[in-house]
Amino acid sequence: MKRPRAILAEIPSFGRVYDCGACGCIHLQIGAVSLTLSPEAYMQVVAMVNTSAANFELWFEQSRGDGDGEEE
């Protein structure tokens, strides 16, 4: 593994996001999975995960509110 230029985020024993500087890409590592993304692709992943988190939160709240947790 190359030495990171900047660690953008890290959760010990889970993963990290870093800019290696050498290739101009952002590296996303979660466990044994590693993605190398262009900055533009990385921002698309961020937007997708943010959207999914918001949708999950809404779904979770709705499923708790109806008592049975099943979709209609």
The domain locations on the chain are 6-65
Query: How many Å apart are CA 11 and CA 51, to the nearest integer?
Result: 21
56 in Cβ contact with 44 (< 8 Å): no
For the entire predicted model, the pTM comes to: 0.75
pLDDT-derived band at 21 (thresholds 50, 70, 90) equals confident
The model's pLDDT over 45-70, given as tens digits with 9 standing for 90+, comes to: 999 999 999 999 999 999 887 655 45
Mean pLDDT across 32-43: 97
pLDDT of residue 5: 87
